[in-house]
């Protein structure tokens, strides 16, 4: 059996097409859920939306400090894999579950591939940067989405034969679900018309855990919302920090700004695909907006996905309120539509399966 590890929300849309491609090839494949994300809105709805089977096991690790979460995944997975002896394991993305699983495989001598290998922001204060670098240093197969990732890995001394550029697997999912998502017209539920609003997501610790930074960002968003309505599905971490910072009343009263619970995959894709502008600190949304041709303002100073800036619609705007508001104005008055990077073509999962099968 080959296993793909999922743990947190951004993993699910990457694992879904991989599971389908293994099934189509007639190769036994199952999902292992670490349980890092456990809320219905952060996990279960994605299994339903994406038609994924129930995981073979859910380790139920839940929330905690980084060490607690990483350690719990390692202990649970080691026990499971010692019993199951997988033929190979795939890990996706850059969350704590990804790194924990990669280390367990390395220690147990289980062949392991990393999907989305080689991405680097150069920002070591981001927990995900640590996860990326550690993961890539211990896996056997580095499955990359773009040429910059290949270059990063070669510069770190990874052997060229372990690097296979396969493209962006999340775009397989986007392409497969876009027609169904568009029909939903989630914007209408908020009383908005297509192209008549912006979408905001915010959850990076560096943006939401410090009340001053969070207040500055939300202040800028409030200004933008006066001109263009903004829909803001709020991540649980952010919901908590808005309350801690005492910003709840102010944010809820901001004209043009609508807060809602986190959305499922189809609903969120419906919302973003109809948006005029995206504001985010998410990695995946930088890529999705590039493919959708929607201007994206990334509320960070760096990105591990520079290709979305080079060829796509993405602009790094940081967290300075003046810059955010000015760049939003600019984005609304005709940003270039960008183009889709090579191999982001809906067939990445097939290439992943081929690369794994060839090597085990
Ligand atoms: C994690 C990933 C991040 C990814 C993000 C997407 C790491 C280090 N971070 O961040 O890379 O972009 O997922 O969402 O792996 N919580 C709930 N319900 C849940 C999950 C979390 O309420 O189902 C709350 C808890 O209060 C928890 C907090 O959110 O403590 C943070 O969750 P955690 O998994 O530690 O990190 P994320 O911020 O979600």
Among 35, 63, 239, which residue has the most ligand 1 atoms within 8 Å of its CB, making it the best to mutate? 63
104: left (phi over 0), alpha (psi -120 to 50) or beta: alpha
CB-based burial of residue 349 (10 Å sphere; 0-12 exposed, 13-18 middle, 19+ buried)? buried
Helices 169-184/348-359 angle, 10° precision: 150
Is the CA virtual torsion 92, 303, 199, 232 positive or negative?
Answer: positive
Pairing relationship of beta strands 277-280 and 198-201 according to DSSP bridges: parallel
Can you give the pLDDT at residue 333? 76
Residue 37 CA to ligand 1 center (angstroms) comes to 6
The predicted structure's pLDDT at residue 13: 98
Widest Cα–Cα separation across the chain: 58
10 CB near ligand 1 (under 6 Å):
yes
CB 288 within 8 A of CB 268: no
Distance from Cα 218 to the centre of ligand 1, integer Å: 20
Determine which residue's CA is closest to atom 37 belonging to ligand 1. Answer: 237
pLDDT at residue number 15: 98
Residues with a known catalytic role: 203
Position 336 scores a pLDDT of 59
Quick one: which atom of ligand 1 is closest to the CA of 93? 11
Supply the pLDDT for residue 334.
63
Between CA 240 and CA 313, with CA 322 as vertex, the angle to 5 degrees is: 85
pLDDT tens per residue, the chain (360 residues)? 999 999 999 999 999 999 999 999 999 999 999 999 999 999 999 999 999 999 999 999 999 999 999 999 999 999 999 999 999 999 999 999 999 999 999 999 999 999 999 999 999 999 999 999 999 999 999 999 999 999 999 999 999 999 999 999 999 999 999 999 999 999 999 999 999 999 999 999 999 999 999 999 999 999 999 999 999 999 999 999 999 999 999 999 999 999 999 999 999 999 999 999 999 999 999 999 999 999 999 999 999 999 999 998 999 999 999 999 999 998 887 655 789 999 999 999 999 999 999 999
- Terminal CA-CA length for the chain: 12
H helix runs in the chain, sequence order: 9-24, 45-49, 66-84, 96-108, 127-138, 147-155, 169-184, 186-189, 205-208, 211-227, 236-244, 248-253, 265-273, 283-292, 307-310, 321-332, 348-359
Does the Cβ of 134 fall within 6 Å of ligand 1? no
pLDDT of residue 335: 55
């Amino acid at each position: 059996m080959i296993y793909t590890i999922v743990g947190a929300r951004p993993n699910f849309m990457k694992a879904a097409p991989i599971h389908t491609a293994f099934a189509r090839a007639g190769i036994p494949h199952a999902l292992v859920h670490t349980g890092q994300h456990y809320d219905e809105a952060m996990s279960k709805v994605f299994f339903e939306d994406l038609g994924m089977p129930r995981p073979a096991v859910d380790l139920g690790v839940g929330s905690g400090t980084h060490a607690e979460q990483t350690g719990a995944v390692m202990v649970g997975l080691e026990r499971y894999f010692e019993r199951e002896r997988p033929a190979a394991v795939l890990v996706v993305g850059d969350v704590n579950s990804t790194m924990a699983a990669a280390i367990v495989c390395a220690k147990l001598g289980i062949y392991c591939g990393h999907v989305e290998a080689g991405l680097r922001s150069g920002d070591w204060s981001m927990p995900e940067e640590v996860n990326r670098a550690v993961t890539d240093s211990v896996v056997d197969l580095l499955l990359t989405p773009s040429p910059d990732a290949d270059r990063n890995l070669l510069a770190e001394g990874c052997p060229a034969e372990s690097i296979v550029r396969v493209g962006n697997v999340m775009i397989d999912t986007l392409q497969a679900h876009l027609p169904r998502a568009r029909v939903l017209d989630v914007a209408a539920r908020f009383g908005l018309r297509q192209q008549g609003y912006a979408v905001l997501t915010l959850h990076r610790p560096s943006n939401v855990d410090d009340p001053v930074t969070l207040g500055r960002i939300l202040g800028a968003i409030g200004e933008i919302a006066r001109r263009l309505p903004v829909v803001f599905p709020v991540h649980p971490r952010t919901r908590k920090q808005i309350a801690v910072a005492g910003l709840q009343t102010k944010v809820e009263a901001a004209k043009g700004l609508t807060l809602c619970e986190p959305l499922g995959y189809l609903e969120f894709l419906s919302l973003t695909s109809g948006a005029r502008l995206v504001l985010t600190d998410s990695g995946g949304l930088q890529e999705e907006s590039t493919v959708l041709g929607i201007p994206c303002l990334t509320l960070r100073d760096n990105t591990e996905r520079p290709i979305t800036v080079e060829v796509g619609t993405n602009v790094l705007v940081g967290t300075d309120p003046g810059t955010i508001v000015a760049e939003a104005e600019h984005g609304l008055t005709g940003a270039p539509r960008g183009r889709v990077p090579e191999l982001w073509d809906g067939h990445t999962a097939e290439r992943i399966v081929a690369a794994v099968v060839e090597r085990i």
